[in-house]
Structure 1
Amino acid sequence: MIEALISQAQLSNVAAETLRNIVSLRVSQDLFDDLSADPAARAAAERLELQVKPSAFESHLPIIDRPFEEGAYFNAIDFPFQNWSTSRYSDGRFGVWYGADSMETTVWETVHHWRNFLADADNLQAGARIERKVYAVHCEAALIDLRQLVSSFSSLVHPSDYSLCQQLGSKLHREGHPGLITQSARCAGDVFVILNRQVLSAPRQLCYLSYISSEDGIVVEREPGTPWLHIPPLAEGD
């Protein structure tokens, strides 16, 4: 089936801004506040940490790039390539970066995985909350385009069986393809599946989001206290 799928797929030349939605905090916690009540002592601890902490990003243009771009690059691009996990297109033996075509698509995709996390933790109840951050990341690559094949290969968007997608991801990773673009399994949007970090660049922060579970589904806030999007409860059997 994999060979038939690839033989029917087309290449799409992508040069677009994609959205990456990650777990974050609106207000960062002071990690040294339990060491001392003296602000000067905490500042000294922070300076020491910066001196000994290894760099997560080395710029190809060190004179042009600014220090804060290290954090943005690691959070928005590099993290999944350094921290492998099992996902729709990976069996856990290599890293995959997932982005989306719109804010709504990133929310539907990440709400699905957050619900699974809450269910596994036996905490799928009203009042659960998580904070997230959305980055815009430029993607420039020739990606295998599966969007027109979803109707013929429904396994590409199966809600829980990832076997076909993982086989495809392993083959493309082994052969050195930069990635693919496909239809979201959760909504009417598109998802970018990137296997090579070199095709991603220029990360910039767009906004923070809050997800709050309720009896009526998931409420998504862009501004604290103001609902922006509502994801309904799962249908029976989902």
Structure 2
Amino acid sequence: MLDSLAVLVGKRLQGYRLVNSKFPPIALFDDVADAADFDTIYQLQTITNPRLQNELGRLELIARTEIPFGITGCSYATAPFTHVNPAGSRFSNGSFGVLYVADTMEVAIAEVRHHQGQYWSKVQGLNYERFVFRGLACRFSESAMRDATVLPLSDPIYAPDDYSHAQLLGHQAKRENCPGLRYNSVRSPGNICWALLTPRLVSSVIQAAHYEMVWNGQIISVSRITTLSAE
């Protein structure tokens, strides 16, 4: 299927995503300028910081050359590729990471709201809870990505809860070193998302706001609670 999707030109874009605030930025990714510095400092810090490996995640899942050292928010760009959800996602079976970005913050919220609702509905005895997320503004290039927006929402890759076809496409894209996919938002039809299979196309990730989701048997509200400059 991948070969039937057009290759995108190098348009530079700004997208948005949400991350749970309980996961802080990873300082080491942001504190170094290149791979050589990273490896040197990493070796030194592992001697005195036994928690460092847990903070950085599975570094073996990403090549040093794929990490965009030196950009603002490098840790936000890289974390999805070292802290991989073993349960998988739409375009990954859990063996590799994906950086998901939406065309607006509202779409990012809709996507996360759906998945959070699914997750917490399976937790027995959870009657009320609030969750805080960081809103992120992500600047990136879609150069050489494949365009799956030409496929209608009726295509199997857009099945609401069956990711098997989408994961086959994602696996093929990963295997063929495709940097990512542009696709239609399932949770907000008419909008666009991107699945970045590498962080190297990201030029900056800046915290834009905080959002609170309130759970009471379902997510009953989403509120912006702080706003920061995304410039």
TM-score normalised by the chain length of structure 1: 0.70
Greater strand share, 1 or 2? Answer: 1
Change (3 A) 1:210 1:175: same
Q: Secondary structure at the match of 2:119?
A: helix
Cα deviation, 1:81-109, whole Å, max 9, x if unaligned, reads 10222111011111111111001110110
Q: Which residue of 2 aligns with 1:114?
A: 116
Q: Which residue of 2 aligns with 1:135?
A: 136
Q: Which residue of 1 aligns with 2:165?
A: 164
- Check the 8 A contact 1:115/1:124 in 2, yes or no: no
Cα deviation, 1:142-162, whole Å, max 9, x if unaligned, reads 2211112124x5212211110
Matched, 1:105 2:107: yes
Q: Which residue of 2 aligns with 1:8?
A: 4
Give the root-mean-square deviation of aligned CA atoms. 2.9
Note the C-alpha offset of 1:59. 7.4
Unaligned 5+ segments in structure 2 are 25-44, 57-63, 227-231
Change (3 A) 1:215 1:89: closer
Note the C-alpha offset of 1:134. 1.0
Counterpart AA for 1:160: D
Note the C-alpha offset of 1:218. 2.5
Cα deviation, 1:16-44, whole Å, max 9, x if unaligned, reads 0111210005x9xxxxxxxxxxxxxxxxx
Number of positions where the alignment pairs a residue of Structure 1 with one of Structure 2: 188
Q: In structure 2, which of residues 203, 206, 214 is the aligned counterpart of residue 204 of structure 1?
A: 206
Q: Which runs of structure 1 show a deviation greater than 2 angstroms over 4 or more consecutive aligned residues?
A: 11-14, 51-61, 122-125, 213-218
Q: Matches of 2:215 and 2:84 in 1, distance apart? A: 28
TM-score normalised by the chain length of structure 2: 0.71
The structure with the largest alpha-carbon Rg is 1
Percent of residue pairs identical:
24
Cα deviation, 1:87-132, whole Å, max 9, x if unaligned, reads 110111111111110011101100111111111212564x321000
Counterpart AA for 1:212: V
Q: Matches of 2:220 and 2:146 in 1, distance apart? A: 33
